[in-house]
Amino acid sequence: MSQPLAIGERWLVSGRVQGVGFRPFVWQLAKTHQLIGWVRNTPSGVEICWQGSAESFDSLAADFYRQLPPLAHVHTLVREVSPLQACADFQILPSLQGEVKTSIPADLGICDACLNELFDPEDPRNGYPLINCTHCGPRYSICHALPYDRQQTSMATFPMCSRCEAEYHAPDNRRFHAEPTACPACGPRLQWRRIGAGLVNDSPLTAAIHALQAGEWIAVKGLGGFHLVGDAKQPAVVATIRDKKRRATKPLAVMMMNLDSVKAWCEVTPAEAMWLTRPERPIVLLKKKPIADTALSGIAPNMDRIGVMLPYTPLQWLMFHEALGKPVGQHWREVANDLVWIMTSANHAGSPILTSAEAVEEKLDHLVGGILDHDRPIIHPCDDSVLSVVDDQPVWLRRARGLAPEPIYLRSTGADVLALGGLLKNTITVCKEDQAFVSPHLGDLQHPAVAERLLETVDSLLAFTHAKPAVISCDAQPDYIGYRLAEQLAEKWQIPLTPVQHHHAHIGAVLAEKGVEEPVLGLVLDGFGWGEDGTAWGGELLLVDGKTANRLGHISEIALPGGDLAAKLPWRMAVALGQQIQRALPAEVANQTGVQVVKQQLALGLNAPTTSSMGRWFDAIAGWQGICSEQIFEGEAPMRLAALLGEFPPPSVISDIPPFAPVLDLLPLAKAALAASDDTEVARQWHVGLVQQLAGWVLSAAQQTALKTVVLAGGVFANAYLLAGLKQQLLQHGINVLVAEQMPVGDGGISLGQAWIARKHLQQHEQHTK
């Protein structure tokens, strides 16, 4: 090199910087700026030592951030002066061994470069269903352990051919150290397994599409598990899945090929379009157009939204290509078509997603006609992620494929912590130093197989992070299975157990994500959480200061005739509401079998505990109107009620803030709403009034406590109108509103809150014992 070596720097980079093409990016950057030195992976991230002339360094930092690989994310960058070393060029050195502290890479959808190769007849990987590179493809789902090297993945049994190996070792190739890289000559292969007839290896893709077009259900292997796939436009196909999978009314997710295809069926905002096409490829809840209610009537009955995702694996793209008659070239990928396929998890209701063809054939042989499989094993199951977009911000309903278990970065560090989450929509969290690793969505712990998966995930996440928990946390309800499992692990490891109240954990999750340490007001609206007084909470106003939470107030209570049964039968909640507002029941409620028994329960106070649950208030309104008398899935009644709103009615600005009251009485609002002329007007008055009352209540509490930050959390905030309206009202009065953006708004986020709060308890204990 002709220029004098005047400067040497050592950069330490942490974040999502392994398994994303980061080292070849640094190598190329060094070549561009005429720098010499080296780069290598370390247990904590990436270490770079480069040196060159002062002129070479002038624009280096700007180019570094501007040209980062699409999947890379830099959390910290430490720059320090480094002594000049004897180097001839810039090299990529072998990884530094040690205890791994970097993040676990998540699975991602196919990139444009691989997609172009997939349909390029001149490319060696043309038509190969497992094509990938450093910018896309499986990661977490195929990884046994860190560091993320090929020998520690399920690709270890597939030796690379000479072409793949040459690409794997070439820094200027986008497959440089792409651990799952493969091609038709050396990689896993596609298989079509006809139920009861074994493997059919000739044209498996053609056979699968023929079965799909003939109205059969097929199972197709995705990144984190099998999907059940059927034609969404064939009513008989939809009826079959609802009958045999026991999903009578729960919405079914669908896959369409591109944005223009989606726009024929749904309204799509720019923010929603962005999320649909991001590498994470989540399911996005979109507002249906009238044509969707007509032609796809069985997909999301009585809902105004439908869950849509775009293809994210090469196999899914090949299925569309086959179904469209194998068009030539690349242009067809951008052309709208009318293919709409149901893509639902291959499992029975409540059980985990299936990851092997053998399990599908054993458990779902009555449902599927065949299985489109390949022989790359799935190590870690991972469901699809689900979100809605409110005010251009993501509201996560499920955090899984594409996101988990990449870390949430915390504001401070501390001891290792394990938290086991809640009963429903369970996740677990491991805190290691300044990172919180939240597992993918696991499911509902009432199902024994989900409890087993929880324990398996505990083992794998602890192994990935090398964490040794100093404390374990869980939901405070002592009869939950999560509590019992936490007790067993605490006793096994001889560490303390710190149960955390459910709604405190909801607020803690948002504070952990946002890095907020100061006291806040927290409004939590959900279906149920075991309260500190032993009653059922669910509409709580808390003052949260780290590890402490004081209940300032709650919404007015309503009876639960039959206990948990009332949450499944909203007509029961309607009877309870009728007793409180002293109004005759509508005919549809009055004629329900067992209504007299419910009235006696309420009159005598037998098995009719009260609750402050906002979810149950929504159930009561929906049950009264006959909108939903029985909930087949959690949240069905509130979702049906919200679907009647149509265009969101704007709330009026609050001018006079009322004095704070510890109980927010919803009875007057319920009476007024139920006096409306029809279901739509009932829904409108209920939602608009609720936003006004909640906003006034929170503003009065903010005034009394002199706090200017409010956290909104809990599953009821999946209601887009409620969330957007309340945020708008609070912001207009100068309140700083915090809502989860990286974690689910509901119970999928509480493991993070539990871990954050338990760590604070441990820190205080350590300070007192010093």
For position 1, what pLDDT does the model report? 42
User: Does any domain span residue 78?
Assistant: yes
CATH number, domain of 263, equals: 3.90.870.40
Do residues 377 and 418 both lie within one domain? no
For 660-693, the pLDDT digits (tens) are: 999 999 999 999 999 998 999 999 999 999 999 9
476 vs 79: CA distance, rounded Å? 44
Two structure tokens written together for 359: 């399990």
428 vs 405: CA distance, rounded Å? 10
Output the DSSP codes for 566-581.
HHH-HHHHHHHHHHHH
User: Does any domain span residue 395?
Assistant: no
| DSSP run (H or E) holding 47 | strand 45-52
Residues with active-site annotation: 23, 41
For 529-544, the pLDDT digits (tens) are: 999 999 999 999 999 9
| Cβ-defined contacts of 591-597 (< 8 Å, 24+) | 592/629, 595/571
Q: What integer is the mean pLDDT of 463-470? A: 94
Output the DSSP codes for 130-171.
T--BTTBB-SGGGBSSSS--GGGBTTTTSPPPHHHHHHHT-T
Do residues 206 and 310 both lie within one domain? yes
Do residues 237 and 321 both lie within one domain? yes
| Domain C-terminal end among 92, 114, 134 | 92
Q: In what order do the strands lie in the sheet with 45-52?
A: 73-81, 7-16, 45-52, 36-42, 90-92
Two structure tokens written together for 156: 């270890």
Q: Which residue has the tokens 């510890």?
A: 662
Instruction: Return the SS3 of 735.
Output: coil
User: Does any domain span residue 129?
Assistant: no
> Residue 385's closest CA among 306, 311, 445, 440?
440
pLDDT greater than 70 at residue 743: yes
For 324-374, the pLDDT digits (tens) are: 999 999 999 999 999 999 999 998 877 899 999 999 999 998 899 999 999
User: Does any domain span residue 659?
Assistant: yes
Do residues 603 and 702 both lie within one domain? yes
User: Does any domain span residue 133?
Assistant: no
User: Does any domain span residue 629?
Assistant: yes
406 vs 103: CA distance, rounded Å? 6
* 515-536 core/surface letters (b: 16 or more CB in 10 A; e: else): ebeebbbbbbbbbbbbbeeeeb
pLDDT greater than 70 at residue 5: no
DSSP character at residue 298: T
User: Does any domain span residue 367?
Assistant: yes
Quote the number of domains for the chain.
Answer: 4
For 291-330, the pLDDT digits (tens) are: 998 999 899 999 999 999 999 999 999 999 999 999 999 9
Instruction: Return the SS3 of 195.
Output: coil
Do residues 623 and 669 both lie within one domain? yes
Residue-range definition of the domain harbouring residue 583 = 520-739
For 727-739, the pLDDT digits (tens) are: 999 999 999 999 9
Q: What's the pTM value of the predicted model, to 2 decimals?
A: 0.95
Do residues 228 and 366 both lie within one domain? yes
Do residues 409 and 367 both lie within one domain? no
Do residues 241 and 369 both lie within one domain? yes
399 vs 156: CA distance, rounded Å? 28
| Cβ-defined contacts of 560-563 (< 8 Å, 24+) | 560/536, 560/608, 560/609, 560/610, 560/611, 560/616, 561/598, 561/601, 561/602, 561/607, 561/608, 562/598, 562/601, 562/607, 562/608, 563/607, 563/608, 563/609
For 557-609, the pLDDT digits (tens) are: 999 999 999 999 999 999 999 999 999 999 999 999 999 999 999 999 999 99
DSSP alpha helices (H): ranges in 339-400?
Answer: 357-364
Question: Side-chain half-sphere of 767: how many Cα atoms within 13 Å?
Answer: 7
Helices (runs of H) and strands (runs of E) counted in the chain: 25, 31
Assign 42 a pLDDT band (cuts: 50, 70, 90).
confident
CATH number, domain of 762, equals: 3.30.420.360
Instruction: Look at the chain and count its residues.
Output: 770
Distance of CA 661 to the CA centre of its chain: 36
505 vs 278: CA distance, rounded Å? 30
Do residues 429 and 453 both lie within one domain? yes
Do the Cβ atoms of 586 and 570 come closer than 8 Å? no
| Domain C-terminal end among 66, 92, 118 | 92
| Domain C-terminal end among 41, 74, 92 | 92
Report the C-alpha dihedral over residues 21, 26, 27, 33, rounded to 10 degrees.
Answer: 150
Do the Cβ atoms of 315 and 129 come closer than 8 Å? yes
Do the Cβ atoms of 261 and 339 come closer than 8 Å? yes
Do residues 562 and 625 both lie within one domain? yes
Do residues 565 and 695 both lie within one domain? yes
For 605-656, the pLDDT digits (tens) are: 999 999 999 999 999 999 999 999 999 999 999 999 999 998 877 778 888 8
Do residues 434 and 576 both lie within one domain? no
User: Does any domain span residue 160?
Assistant: no
Q: Is residue 705 packed enough to be buried (19+ CB in 10 Å), middle (13-18) or exposed (0-12)?
A: middle
